[in-house]
Structure 1
Amino acid sequence: MVWTPVVLYLSWVSYTSLAQGNTRLFSSFTTEYSIPVHKYYFPFIFLLGMILWSLLEYLIHRFVFHMKPPASNYYLITLHFLLHGQHHKSPFDSSRLVFPPVPASLVIGFFYGVLRLLLPEVLGLSVFVGGLCGYVIYDMMHYYLHYGSPKKGTYLYGLKAYHVKHHFEHQKSGFGISTRFWDYPFRTLIPEETFKKED
């Protein structure tokens, strides 16, 4: 309810801004060799933002939510428990499945600022809105993986089984939530279980 209207509005702003034809890549370094960014590139830039979000989702889950704070640091232990420890302790507590909008807006604002520094304004906004859409999909998917009943054999059924294994059996692996993709290159894939057939 909070972020979807923002995604729709910023997508419209990004597309219409790119349609003006003023956006060029590398224009801050050279005008002679700068590359124009056409409005038809918007879906690909948006998709790039979603892919970057999926990587960020993996990295945050693995290195922030599953960090090992020093046993002597009360504040880091408390922060870790509030960020993710409580969710593992009570995985079916519906109030712990989606990041609240106010703290989420601080994190989202930080990443928007980083993209504004690294890329031309409209290009950064286009990547950002794709990432924000990825975040919305992740939040909805995470909630569904805990409370939904996907049909056996579907993509979401496999993800639900994978996420349940992360919660109850393999907390040091299986950090991908909306996709297992990043668990492959980072070698944190939960191993497939094999069952011997009984004769």
Structure 2
Amino acid sequence: MARHPVLTDALLDAALGPEAEPDPKARSPRFFHRPLYERLTRAHPASPYLLWAGPIAACLAFGTAAHDPPRLLLLLAVGWLVWTFVEYWLHRGFFHLAPTTPARRVTSFIVHRHHHVAPNDRDRLVATPLYSGGLALLLLGLYGLIAGPDARWPLLAGTLLGYLAYERAHHLAHHGRPRTALGRALRRRHLRHHFADRGLDFGISSPLWDLVFRTYSKRHAPEDRPDRPCPP
């Protein structure tokens, strides 16, 4: 008989048991008994681009109608910069919230710790539409309150472009071989976060806020060595 009416035994064992070492070949456990709930925790790697290409185009159209090109580009850049800040603090402050109680341990495993156990699980690599959509709506509301109804659209467009850059950098870190020096550097930093010290290197698409808040690591993990290639 299942130990919980909603959560699977496999999830409870993984979340409440000893912390497992990261395994590039592992797959995260099933979270929920109900197929619909479980489906909401998984997303195809292409889903962020399919979901947000249209809204980004619409935001750019609204922004072009309300702003001249220099101001439009400035707002896009500010929106992208905001994304890097949000990315950093979501990862550091929420995803790595200390699991000090059983409820927190289960919640933190569902939110993020499963990714450290099974870092290359393709079904749980990108944000789900429910998660990214809720965050986008929240930021749109904040932009409207802070910058006004006209500026909110290009700000959101910049943020969403930054978000897609994050998803691309994250995917390449786990399932690619970046060809640019920047891409390789970002990949090394993210794999250090997974395999050397998960208390550092929280930025994935940019090291900016790690440098600002002194969580940037120069330590070399075994995966950085030429004789120990990073997991595929």
Q: TM-score, normalised by structure 2?
A: 0.70
Q: Is the 8 A contact 2:59 2:157 kept in 1?
A: yes
- 2:56 equivalent to 1:7: yes
Cα distance in structure 2, aligned partners of 1:171 and 1:46: 31
Where do residues 6-85 of structure 1 align in structure 2 (5 Å cutoff)? 6-18=55-67, 38-71=68-101, 73-74=102-103, 76-85=104-113
- Counterpart of 2:62 in structure 1: which amino acid? V
Deviations 1:22-50 (A, max 9, x none): xxxxxxxxxxxxxxxx4531011101100
Cα distance in structure 2, aligned partners of 1:112 and 1:70: 33
Q: Which one of the candidate residues 141, 161, 164 is aligned to 2:188? A: 161
Deviations 1:121-171 (A, max 9, x none): 0112221211111111111221111101123x7111111111111001110
- 2:146 is aligned to 118
Cα distance in structure 1, aligned partners of 2:183 and 2:69: 33
Cα distance in structure 2, aligned partners of 1:39 and 1:168: 44
Q: Which moved more, 1:169-178 or 1:7-16?
A: 7-16
**1:192, CA displacement in angstroms?**
4.0
Q: Which moved more, 1:119-128 or 1:167-176?
A: 119-128
Where do residues 117-196 of structure 1 align in structure 2 (5 Å cutoff)? 117-151=145-179, 154-193=181-220
- Counterpart of 1:163 in structure 2: which amino acid? H
Deviations 1:62-86 (A, max 9, x none): 1011110322x51x32221111101
Structure 1 residue ranges (4+ consecutive) displaced by more than 4 angstroms after TM superposition:
none
Q: Is the 8 A contact 2:169 2:187 kept in 1?
A: no
- 1:25 is aligned to none
Cα distance in structure 2, aligned partners of 1:192 and 1:68: 23
Q: Secondary structure at the match of 2:197?
A: coil
Structure 2 residues without counterparts, runs of 5 or longer:
1-49, 222-232
Q: Is the 8 A contact 2:200 2:217 kept in 1?
A: yes
Cα distance in structure 1, aligned partners of 2:209 and 2:131: 26
Q: Is the 8 A contact 1:4 1:136 kept in 2?
A: no
Cα distance in structure 2, aligned partners of 1:51 and 1:57: 10
Deviations 1:162-198 (A, max 9, x none): 111100111000101011111111010112449xxxx
Q: TM-score, normalised by structure 1?
A: 0.81
- 1:93 is aligned to 121
Q: Secondary structure at the match of 2:108?
A: helix
Cα distance in structure 1, aligned partners of 2:134 and 2:106: 20
Larger radius of gyration: 1
Q: Is the 8 A contact 2:76 2:154 kept in 1?
A: yes
Aligned length: 172
Same amino acid, percent of matched pairs: 26
Cα distance in structure 2, aligned partners of 1:139 and 1:130: 14
